[in-house]
A and B are shown apart, each in its own frame.
Chain A
Amino acid sequence: MTTYIGLIPAIPFLGFLILGLYGQKMHGKIAGYIGTGAVGISAFLTFMVAARYLNGLPEIKSYTVTLWQWISAGNLNVNISFSLDALSLIFIFVITFVGFLIHMYSIEFMAGDERFSKFFAYMNLFVGSMLVLVLANNMLVLYMGWEGVGLCSYLLIGFWYKEPENGYAARKAFIFTRVGDTAMILGIFLLFLNFGTLNIHQIMQQAPEKWMTGSAIATVTAALLLGGALGKSAQLPLQSWLPDAMAGPSPVSALIHAATMVTAGVYLIARTHILFALAPVVQTAVAVIGAATLLIAGFSALAQHDIKRILAYSTISQIGYMFLALGVGAWSAAVFHFMIHAFFKALLFLGAGAIILALDEEHDIFKMGGLRKKMPVIFITYLVASASLAALPLVTAGFYSKDQILWYSFSSQSGGLWLWIAGIFGAFLTALYSFRMVFITFYGEAKTEPSMKVGKLILIPLVVLAVLSVLGGLVELPQAWGNFRPFSNLLHNVLPATTIHKKEGLEVVFELISATIVLIGVYLAYLFYIKKPWLVKSYEHSRLNEFFYRGWDFDKVYDVLLVKPIVWLAEIDEKDFFNWFNTGVSKVALFGNRVLSLTQNGKLRWYLMSFAIGIALILTYMIYR
């Protein structure tokens, strides 16, 4: 068991090493098969581990494997060790399984790229790092994975490096997340100083004993960790890197910027939920940030033209839901939504990628249209995913996960009406923009002809993910419906159940409300984008929409507040102010030299004069002291 846990991240790393060192020499798609195979083995191992884990329940709730001692300095002892519990099990399942599908997809998607093997190397490195992140049983090891995925994100966003914009997007992503990471490492320091260990399990055990609920130290620590989570998960105010990150290839967007890495923040908060519970202020902030983010991103998604940017904003918005759930203490609901979101969002990105590939790098949905008949499989899967995203009642997995969040946002201890209103309005927006996307892309008249047919390696992952997007929700049904909840039961080994402060029966009512609203949203999308497009013509061109389009001008604010001053500061002093010291000293010396040199004029009588003056000075001093 423990060997397998170690092997799960190790195999993708091995794949990375092989591809990194020898990839250049591999012909054809071999590199792709190796990369996919590595993740596939990991996925297989994950299934085995999962089976054993479930078998071992409820006696053994977590397994730990220590590989080697990493750091030992003073009282800081850090081991490279992994531990597997229900939470990380779900994450590694999503990472390896969805990762495997996306790798498979990439073999075809990236075929012919001159850096084919590099791509798979980076992807394998990513999967490995992500697995380290979620398996880590130590904050520092977690941080290692955390930064590792950041690196891969950077590399993959800038994968097509020849376009400078891609490079800039990659840099932006890295720096934004780095800001969060720095807050996080400070939080880790605080943990270490207070608990003398970085072992997550021990910290979580000691925290409630050592720290009072709402104490300053707990609040600061939780806030710092939250900083890391905000950066990685693209939440307010560090969200604006994610839309730009779409510069990467579509599988990258699917894997990193939809399914896995961006949800690392969710994982972190869930993992350290005890700290957040000790800091109610911060926890509330998580909920508020989540709610605000989901709305802001929802509006922006509605304004985009680029299919991938729509999905990017949608991702931000959906992670906003997860944060909302975390903020109200609905830990398992957040994780549930994470999983379902991974399925349908990965599917959306992969579908979008397939479309873009077929249409020769066309990103603008208004230049697509009518693709329904030309790419039926893609259409159906895309439709399924969008429905799931929009949380179409009953038939989609998204409905189950999102409605659980909406319900808890109202009913849980720290939930409330306003959070729920934000959530429900967000749901409306989600329905609207996701079906806007579907209708514009697949209906109407065809504006661009697909230049190629996509192959099986692309279609298989789409279908598998589509199935999951529909059926995935069945692992967790609303309480009112017979209380079939294996998912949260599993998670309750790690995460506490959500306490509900409202009447249980209300849930059905709320579900009806949200279902209605979603349906209204879908209908309005149909109305606006198929039936009567003129209705929204004026809005589409309004300043407000432009504002949403630009992502609420966050970039502009950062530009004015941070980028410009820094660049200015750099430019005014490029030559290094401290050089005055050198130039000053040498000027003084040269001046002295010139002056003294004048006295050395070769004139004998002048020299005699200096004798006379010298003796005069000496005698004057000695006599009239």
Chain B
Amino acid sequence: MILIDLIIVLLIGAILAWITGKWNSVLPRIISLAALVVDLFLIIPEVVGAATNQTKWLVDIDLSWIPAFGINLHLALDGLSLMMLLLTFFMGIVSVIISWKEINKRVGFFHFNLLMTLTGVVGVFLSLDLFLFYFFWELMLVPLYFMIGIWGHKNSTAVAYKFFLYTQAGGLLMLISILALYFIHGQTTGVYTFDYLQLIGTKMPASVAFLLMLGFLAAFLVKLPMIPLHTWLTEVYSEAPTAVLLSALLLKTGAYGLFRFVVPLFPFAARSFAPVGMVLGVIAILYGAKLAFAQTDLKRLIAYISVSHVGFILLGIFAFNEIAYQGVVMQMLTQGISTGALLIMAEQLSERLHTRDINQMGGLWEKVPIMGTIGLIFTMASLGLPGFGNFIAELLVLLGVFKTNVTAAVLASLGLVAAAIYSLRILQKVFYGRKSKNWEIHDLSIREKLVAGSMIIIIVGMGLFPKPVLNIAKPVVLKSLNTQNDSAFLKSQESKTKVMAENTCFLKPLNR
């Protein structure tokens, strides 16, 4: 029941925060912080289990929901979702703390939305029923939309639309694929279910599998986001309030989806998509880097950095080997933190300076040395300096990719050089050089230092001691690779399957 508790705690927190927000602006903050901390403590015991249990799901709940369609409330936790949850709660806590003073209007409703978004995210990471997954997938959009729209900057409403529409479009395409998968599975086996575990290994002709996979990809690649579907991200990053570093978290749901659903459900289709996926990954890395280099708006710049980093995830997923997958898991975690930290820094700067244009900044180190140091640390982390978690992630991804596709790995490694170029540009323009104006700004407060400090500890910790993470990820990685091996035997049966599937006639022609 612990998994349902996680969600219920967040929901109750959300409602309480909203209600209490009417009378008091501090209570909602405390409530949402408390809800997140409670959740964090609820799952910490599972970490121990994750380190030892190598095969089964750590927790597994399966309740009936809409039996007519074979929809169940199936939640389960394994190493991957555990880590994503840890990241979620950590980032949630960070965003509550970060927004402690910054968000001072409509605090109650803000925290309601924050917790609702997190509910959706948590649900996404836990769902093993495809319908439920889709449900949560869509659920997190609305509160996030409100957060961007209400507490964002000037153009935030338009940006919020864009974000909403993009993700919704992707989600609906995924819905079609989910349904088609459901029916194919139902028609071939007679069992109509949305259950992920049962749908794995559904037999279908290769062409159909490919089409269905595209539907899933549509949703996940928009979330990632992959070029050319990334434009919402840059705007969300630049217009959203700080706490929407949550959106950095949302990107992880896309990666998670690829990992959890696309690869196991469509092992062959995914393989046949691999060359395209890798090309897309490389393009994302290089094009993102190029655009990051061109930006003058600090937050847009960070957005493109994140686009570039996401390329590694894409690349790794389509490398189909253990090392790359471990790298992807690492990248999901570390990128969330390092990009989040950079965004926080950018927001703190723009709040103090009232501009996000890096050409207007310069020489800020003198004024805000601590912020400069933190900026330096996370810039270095994001350019993949050894000692930080990002290095491990990128190293493993590149190494894994190198095993399967040398060209892609070589091109992607150009991204490392590019990363140096654009990252150092931030430092140069913002902190180095002469003061462009006589800024009167203050350095980080204790609250902000606390946040930055904890993020530094985590990212360095993951850089120097990544083993726990890798260990927890290992069974998951092996599992998703094993489905591919299992499917080797499926392949032999594919011809048989093909006949069967054609008889069952998935795409009824218009033969009326």
Interface positions of A (Cβ within 8 A of B): 20, 24, 68-76, 80, 140, 143-144, 147-148, 151, 154-155, 158, 161-164, 166-168, 170-171, 174-175, 178-179, 181-182, 185-186, 189, 192-193, 566, 569-571, 573-574, 576, 578-579, 581-582
Contact = CB atoms under 8 A, between A and B. Distances in A.
Interface string B471-486: 1001000000000000
B380 A68 contact: no
Given A68-B467, A76-B399, 8 more contacts: A73-B474, A76-B323, A148-B386, A163-B433, A164-B433, A578-B230, A578-B231, A581-B228
B42 interface: no
Contacts of A578: 227-228, 230-231
Contacts of A68: 465, 467
A167 B387 contact: no
B227 A144 contact: no
Given A73-B326, A174-B420, A162 B399 contact: no
Contacts of B362: 164
B472 to A, nearest CB: 12
Given A161-B365, A182-B414, A571-B294, A73 B323 contact: yes
Contacts of B433: 161-164, 167
Contacts of A192: 399
Given A74-B322, A581-B228, A185 B416 contact: yes
A10 B3 CA distance: 43
B417 interface: yes
A64 B194 CA distance: 55
B369 to A, nearest CB: 8
Given A148-B386, A161-B433, A175 B467 contact: no
A161 B396 contact: no
A569 B294 CA distance: 9
Given A69-B467, A578-B231, A171 B424 contact: yes
Q: Chain B, interface size: which category?
A: 35 or more
A189 B409 contact: yes
A174 B464 CA distance: 22
Contacts of B471: 72
In this complex, the member of B385, B386, B398, B400 whose beta carbon has the largest number of chain A beta carbons within 10 angstroms is B386
Interface string B295-326: 11000000000000000000000000111001
Contacts of B162: 582
Nearest to B481: A74
A582 B231 CA distance: 8
Contacts of B420: 174-175, 178
B398 A189 contact: yes
25 contacts: A71-B392, A71-B395, A72-B471, A73-B326, A73-B396, A73-B474, A74-B322, A144-B391, A151-B380, A151-B385, A158-B432, A161-B433, A162-B363, A162-B433, A163-B433, A164-B433, A167-B432, A175-B421, A181-B416, A182-B413, A185-B416, A189-B409, A566-B290, A566-B421, A581-B229
A182 B416 contact: yes
Contacts of A182: 413-414, 416-417
A571 B290 CA distance: 10
A70 B467 contact: yes
Contacts of B293: 566, 570
A140 B291 contact: no
A147 B403 CA distance: 23
Contacts of B296: 574
Contact of B417 (A80, A147, A179): A179
Contacts, number: 140
B402 A73 contact: no
B366 interface: yes
Given A71-B467, A151-B385, A579 B231 contact: yes
Nearest to B385: A147
Contacts of A147: 385-387, 391
A25 to B, nearest CB: 13
A175 B399 contact: no
B396 A76 contact: yes
B386 A72 contact: no
Contacts of A168: 428
A592 to B, nearest CB: 16
A576 B233 CA distance: 12
B290 to A, nearest CB: 6
Most chain B CB atoms below 10 A, which of A154, A186, A573: A186
Nearest to A73: B326
Contacts of B435: 162
Nearest to B384: A147
B443 to A, nearest CB: 11
Interface in B344-385: 362-363, 365-366, 369, 373, 376, 380, 385
A72 B470 CA distance: 7
A576 B466 contact: no
B241 interface: no
A181 B294 CA distance: 24
Given A71-B467, A189-B402, A174 B424 contact: yes
A168 B428 CA distance: 7
A186 B228 contact: no
A13 to B, nearest CB: 10
Contacts of B386: 140, 143-144, 147-148
Q: Which of A189, A193, A581 has the most CB of B within 10 A?
A: A189
